[in-house]
Structure 1
Amino acid sequence: MAEAHQAVAFQFTITPEGIDLQLSYQALNQIYLSGVRSWKKRFSRLRNSVIKGVYPASPSSWLFVVIAILATMYMRSDPSMGLIKMIQQHLPLSLHVSLSTQGQTMLSALVFSTLLWLSLILALRFCLKLLLSYHQWMFEQHGRVSNTTKVWVTLLRLLSSRKPLLYSYQTSLPHLPVPPIKDTVSRYLKSARPLLTDPEFKRMTELADRFESNLGNRLQRYLKLKALWATNYVSDWWEEYIYLRGRGPIMVNSNYYGMDFLYVTPTPIQAARAGNTITALLLYRRKVNREELKPSRVPGTVIPLCAAQCERMFNTTRTPGVETDVLQHWQDSEFVAVYHKGRFFRLWVYTAGRLLSPREIEHQIQRILDDLSPPQPGEEKLGALTAGERVPWFHTREQHFSSGINKRSLDSIERAAFFVTLDDEEQGMSGEDPAGNLDRYAKSLLHGKCYDRWFDKSFSIVIYKNGKSGLNAEHSWADAPTVAHLWEYTLATDAFQLGYTEDGHCKGDVDRSLPSPQRLAWDIPSEVQAQACSSLAVAQALADDVDCHVFPFREFGKGRIKKLRVSPDAFIQIGLQLAYFRDRGGFCLTYEASMTRLFREGRTETVRSCSNESCAFVRALESGEAEDQCRRLFKLASERHQNLYRLAMTGDGIDRHLFCLYVVSKYLGVESPFLKEVLSEPWRLSTSQTPVQQMELFDLKNHPDFISLGGGFGPVADDGYGVSYIIVGEDMINFHVSSKHSCGETDSHRFGAQISKALQDILTLLAADAKTSSSSSKGSTQPQSKKLL
């Protein structure tokens, strides 16, 4: 193979005349350029470490402090109040001998200036941390900003005036606080009240009171001790016990998906779409590595969010274990792993220290598509091992992939920047059955054929035969907003920056001498093939049971909702409560994901959207009460939901605190009936909003068809629904609904119809009041205008 020869820098043979040494200058040049690229990255990381280490100051500010101190000393004044002389007295004896008195003074002044500079940096960072710990701004009414918040915003802008790197704010972000146990228990009982009968609520109240007065305080002390020691008292346990310790399949149960543009496909050529998509992802990785990405912020504010989840975005895989899986991350990777028609390839994306052009990557992908070689025995369905139970995958990996050719090939997949599937199917909305096609598209991204994705990778990109794309993401390393940010950048860069030629190919030149992508070689024994088939059977049963329904809601969007002075998220969440009540005849424990990235290493918190107020509104509307009463109850429900969301974002949520208390109880070997019952309650309605974070990348005014469908996930409970939604522009909301066919009480299409009707019914109710108010205001102003005339 050509690539094998180029990999050898030199060869030698022993002849009667001696040793014949043959050097491959091309290979040596490749080694040299690769080394240069590696050292450039090291220097860049070192430089960035210095820049973000002194933030919110700058490295050049050191020189300013030194000059200021020396200038003051030149004016025969001692700004150090004797400290410079003290430093001079304590200089090593060798410096006293080798330096003059003036030189010793200058050196002492430099030492003092550096110490003063470092002290100022610590003071600025402490002030920034105090400012970022202020969250009262979130609870203030729109348009009624207190003077305290105005001063706070001004100071925060001053300290954040310098252009920050991606991780500049990390050390200044506050730690997640541990809420008082009394507040958490009280909020829990309030959230549980609409779901329990009077006797059940009385029993739960008694359990909660006993827990709070006895065991709870003991567990709380341990948790506070951890909060003092750890960066975040929740995240490490959440990652381990919620994700990595799960022994069931991560496909469907944990992994989630993201979709392509809804109405357009930038090119119908599969290899070209892969070329631009891979290039865009690698450009994003370069920005992450160089920390050139702007830190994410709370929309419409200067308040930064934690960027820690970006660190393991690329070159990361989840490896199986007996009791717990492990996330493995490598600093760099110059290749991606590609799957096509049962074969695995390693595709190098760098040559001579440079990133391949999109056209070159398209050329390499086309080589894979044109390769007609059959899969090796057992190779085609090898990916099913990542889709099934985790323990069998661990044992198989240990026994058959820990050495030799199998280990080298597995390393090529696990160490790859990411995984790419060149799917031989066509997906998307176009066709005779647009609604059904969207559902099939979602299922394909969620699980595919159960063996043509590598579910352990941090994320896998899927490029379909007709040029449609999507991704499947592993959940343990990060949450959906982080992946959504990556995917937004990828779609926008692909369509608007890289672009395509008139005939649909990638732009750029091609170096035809590039070595072909490498086929990965395997030696898969019958035991591994049998286990792959067994894992595939488990995964296939899980995949067949998933009922996905994706639908764009086009009747109205956040534009109409905001005109009614209602939070769009609260509007949708109350609509989901109404839809569920109509679908199932009651209420259920509802999960809405909220972020806690205002804090360092923050991940998510739960907003319990089913509240006393939302239930009161739904009951009033369904029982036919007066419209004014229904509108009043809706307003209360909306305000309650917004307050719950704010509490969750600012560290005063319920579920992460109770979860950590439960973990501490397990470590101590004590049982808590209260915690056990709380954590065993099923989330029959699990919801999440996919935020649009980079609207500046999409010109929806000139390109209204380039809107994303968002993404979705599988149902959390066997008898429940999973609902994901994305608010796109001003006039559309896209929904992803999932459930299980095996449950006779759920139906994703039926629930989707209930969601549409519920949203329209609520808008009709609120709009009627808006029209009445508008007409009455016109009536009241008209007589005044006559008087003025």
Structure 2
Amino acid sequence: MVGAPLLSVSRRAFNSSGRLNVKNSLSSNYSTATKTFGNQSILPRLPIPELDATAARYKRSLLPLLSAAEHAQVSQKIDRFVKKDGLGQTLQARMHALDEQEAKLGLSWLDRLWLNRGYLEYRIPTVLNVNWWSQFRDHPDGLISQVPEGTITDFQISRSAGLVSGLLDYSNKINDEAIPPEASRSGPFCMHQIRHMFGTSRIAANPRDTIVTSCPATAKHITVIYKDQIFAVPVLGPNGETVPLKTLENQLRQVVSRVDQLPKEQLQPPVGLMTSEHRDTWGEVRKELETIPTNASTFSAIDSSLFTLCLDNYSSPDDKDLSHRNLAHGKGAHNRWFDKALQIIVESNGRAGINGEHSPCDAVVPQRTVESVLMQEPIVDNLATSNISQLPAPTHLQWSISSKTDQQLKAAQENVDKLIADYDSVLLHYDAYGSDFMKKAKVSPDGWLQMAYQLAYYRQYGKPCPTYESASTRKFLTGRTETVRSCSVESMKDKLALFGNAIASQSEYMKASSNGHGVDRHLLGLRCQMTPEEAASEEAAIFQDPSYWGSQYWLLSTSNTSPGDLSWGGFGAVVPEGYGANYAIAKQGVKMSISAWNSCADTDATSFRKTVRGVLDEFGQVAEDYLVQK
């Protein structure tokens, strides 16, 4: 699948409070490491599933989606593919050879294949289609009300400096391997992805994008964008030392002051708009721009920066259905650089959030980073007596563009305006119950939400649909995700007596996927080993059958980023006729976002939210009446 949704960890990775378990919960089979990457050497490699097991699981996942006759036909094609002398056995052998080759680089058979096929070869705009967003809880001091449009406030600068300071501290701790390694009850998690948050950018290119990153992250600057003007802003001392908050605030104020005093003719063009364009278009524009030394220097400063801070001189409405949209796409995609792995966005009233580019790491990794910073708010300045009270002045990055590029920017504006207008997204902050109640009913909270989505979709459309749920494979070296196909035969039965069976089916698939035995990545790996001649042969009928693509045409794409106490987020629906649903289950409530596309007459995020809410109410009442012990 391309354009993978916001990714989550398995529910088994959470403790009773809904937070990720850390090193203290390590199984007794593992030693307790203290260094960030201390467990890497003992992590198992991602397995290649057995062909017969994948075939059986794949067949079962197709049952609710096909008629009996269709299922019988495709089952014959699957059996032919996996038979003893079939093409599947040949491709399986090639996968093992690939795994041996990748092992020499410290990677699994899936790493580069998934990065390229799942992300870097994805050509439509990444904004709303790939990038994820997360809205932070309000500052403990609240937000400023009724801030005039066009204003930058002291509170905005103060909160921005605090967030920057916290992230810099986290980056330095990664460099020093001082972040405790994560783990679940089954053992340690791979910390590989944490290397790709800071100093990381996606580079548009043809026919495939690339990623630039640095670990340790040695840059001493971030990029700050204000009124579409991009600055390289020093934020660390000459030897990487952190500096007082006042010093960071001063750096940010310099950016604002310098931009506000610039004559109109000296304002640089909004080249950041191009990061919202089709990747082929942006790749060609960037390639041409880089031939000019001024532009090459600007690109280098942006790409190498630790992260980006966007200072918006406006505040989005308080309505949650509206405020989160600024984090997803901004005002017409201005004041953004969507290719940066991390973009911190702070509005003039102090509301803040993040927009993340998905390819270098899954959203749960930077989310955990940001939450560690949010837990410290209000950030206390412990460096007031630091010897470093002044840093080099911010550098206003310059562009040299032609009239051709100017026209391309205008086209990019038209295109992203259409994309934003097509984006349908609403939030549901459900407070009737949360994970505490679900556990009293002896039901997996993650399974509860998955069944709620299944029933809601069935009630809305009268049929089941292919459903994506992400499962973490971070128990393996360099593991990322696998698909849980949450739509099952059991989930299509809504009688109370079968509710437990449906939950058990989803939980079993989650466990299998987290253990590297899902269907979708394995089938992708096999398909990618074929020659063109093999792909066109009868032996490859499994991939030619409409059910192969149809079963992964994710009309429901879902992700769990619990608990949602400090932040909540979302992503765009991954197919034109589908929904994107991110959910975070806290002890006493659930926060979720539901997205769709207005261009599809059959989808409506607001209507689907109403149906989901009704199902949650119903589940709660049934659990209260029959499942919760009095």
TM above 0.5: yes
Q: Does 1:543 align with 2:420?
A: yes
CA–CA distance in structure 1, aligned partners of residues 530 and 414 of structure 2: 37
Aligned twin of 1:638: 503
Query: What is the SS of the residue equivalent to 2:529?
Result: helix
Of residues 224, 232, 235, the one that matches 1:349 is 235
What fraction of aligned residue pairs are identical, expressed as a percent? 28
Call closer, same or farther: CA 1:375–1:551 in 2, change over 3 Å.
farther
SS for the counterpart of 2:424 is: strand
Within the candidate set 584, 592, 596, 1:735 is matched to: 592
* Selected match of 2:279 from 373, 390, 395: 390
8 Å contact kept, 2:573–2:597: yes
Q: CA 1:287–1:564 in structure 2 vs 1: closer, same or farther (change >3 Å)?
A: same
Pairwise CA distance, 1:169: 1.1
1:174 to 34, 37, 44: 44
Residue 159 of structure 1: how far off its partner (Å): 4.7
- Paired residue for 1:218? 90
Q: 2:222 aligns with which of 325, 332, 336?
A: 336
Q: Which amino acid aligns with 1:259?
A: Q
Q: Which moved more, 1:387-396 or 1:463-472?
A: 387-396
Structure 1 residue 749 corresponds to structure 2 residue 606: yes
SS of structure 2 residue aligned to 1:232? coil
CA distance in 1, matches of 2:101, 2:176: 30
Question: Which residue is 2:368 aligned to?
Answer: 485
Q: How does 1:659-698 map to 2 (within 5 A)?
A: 659-666=524-531, 670-671=535-536, 672-676=540-544, 677-681=546-550, 682-692=553-563
Shift of residue 236, structure 1, vs aligned partner:
1.2
Contact 1:589 1:685 survives alignment (8 Å): yes
| Cα distance change, pair 218–378 in 1 and its aligned pair in 2 (3 A) | farther
- Measure, in 2, the Cα distance between the counterparts of 1:252 and 1:217: 39
- Aligned counterpart in structure 2 of residue 306 of structure 1, from 190, 210, 218: 190
Match of 1:259 among 132, 135, 143: 135
Pairwise mapping of residues 501-580 of structure 1 onto structure 2 (< 5 A)?
514-580=391-457
Pairwise CA distance, 1:338: 0.8
Which protein, 1 or 2, shows the higher relative CO under an 8 Å CA cutoff with sep ≥ 6?
2
Instruction: Give runs of ≥4 in structure 1 deviating > 6 Å.
Output: 506-512
Q: Which string of whole-angstrom CA distances, capped at 9 and with x for unpartnered residues, describes residues 178-213 of structure 1?
A: 111111111111111011112221221122122222
Letter in 2 for 1:675: F
1:204–1:375 Cα change, 3 Å: farther
Secondary structure in 2 matching 1:351? coil
How far off its partner does 1:403 sit? 3.3
> Does residue 193 of structure 1 match 2:63?
yes
Give the Å deviation of 1:177.
Answer: 1.1
Give the TM-score, by structure 2 length: 0.88
Amino acid at match of 1:657: H
Task: Kindly indicate whether the alpha-carbon contact (under 8 Å) linking 2:234 and 2:394 is maintained by their aligned counterparts in 1.
Answer: yes
Question: Which residue matches 2:523?
Answer: 658
Report how far residue 679 of structure 1 moved: 4.6
**8 Å Cα contact 2:442-2:627 kept in structure 1:** no
Deviation at 1:428, TM superposition (A): 6.2
Q: Please name the residue that 2:255 is paired with.
A: 368
Q: Which amino acid aligns with 2:75?
A: T
Does the residue aligned with 1:157 lie in a helix, a strand or coil? coil
How much has 1:712 moved relative to structure 2? 0.5
- Specify the structure having the higher radius of gyration (Cα): 1
Query: How well do the aligned residues superpose, as a CA RMSD in angstroms?
Result: 2.5
- What letter matches 2:511 in structure 1? R
Instruction: Tell me which amino acid in the other structure corresponds to 1:539.
Output: V
Task: Give the structure 2 partner of residue 780 of structure 1.
Answer: none
The structure where helix makes up a greater share of residues is 1
Q: Deviations over 1:85-143 (max 9, x none)?
A: xxxxxxxxxxxxxxxxxxxxxxxxxxxxxxxxxxxxxxxxxxxxxxxxxxxxx89xx9x
Structure 1 residue aligned with 2:209 = 325
The C-alpha deviation readout for 1:379-421, integer Å capped at 9, x for no partner, is 3421111110112222222222233211112211111111111
The partner residue of 1:766 within 599, 623, 630 is 623
Residues 1-50 of structure 1 show CA distances to partners (whole Å, capped at 9, x for unaligned) of: xxxxxxxxxxxxxxxxxxxxxxxxxxxxxxxxxxxxxxxxxxxxxxxxxx
Unmatched tracts of structure 1, length 5 or more:
1-137, 143-152, 430-436, 501-505, 618-629, 694-706, 775-789
Q: Provide the C-alpha distance between the structure 2 equivalents of 1:394 and 1:319, rounded to a whole number of angstroms.
A: 8
Q: 1:576 to 1:307 in 2, by over 3 A?
A: same
Shift of 1:578: 0.9
Q: Note if 1:469 corresponds to 2:331.
A: no
The residue that corresponds to 1:421 in the other structure is 310
Distance apart, 1:456 and its partner CA = 0.8
Deviations along 1:524-559, one digit per CA (max 9) or x if unpaired, are 221111112222222221121010101211111011
| Alpha-carbon distance, 1:669 to partner | 5.1
- The question of 1:206 aligning with 2:82 is answered no
Q: Deviations over 1:574-593 (max 9, x none)?
A: 01111111122211000000
| Aligned partner of residue 484 in structure 2, secondary structure | strand
The code of the aligned residue for 2:69 comes to P
The change in CA–CA distance for 1:739 and 1:264 in structure 2 (over 3 A counts) is farther
Query: Which whole-Å CA distance do the structure 2 matches of 1:375 and 1:668 have between them?
Result: 59
| Contact 2:596-2:605 within 8 A present in 1 as well | yes
**Deviations, residues 428-467 of structure 1 (Å, cap 9, x unaligned):** 64xxxxxxx2122222111112132111111111111111
CA positional deviation for 1:374: 4.6
Gaps of 5+ in 2: 1-11, 17-23, 145-154
Which residue of the partner structure matches residue 625 of structure 1?
A: none
SS at match of 2:133: strand
1:92-241 correspondence runs (5 A): 157=28, 159-161=30-32, 163-213=33-83, 214-230=86-102, 231-241=107-117
SS at match of 2:201: strand
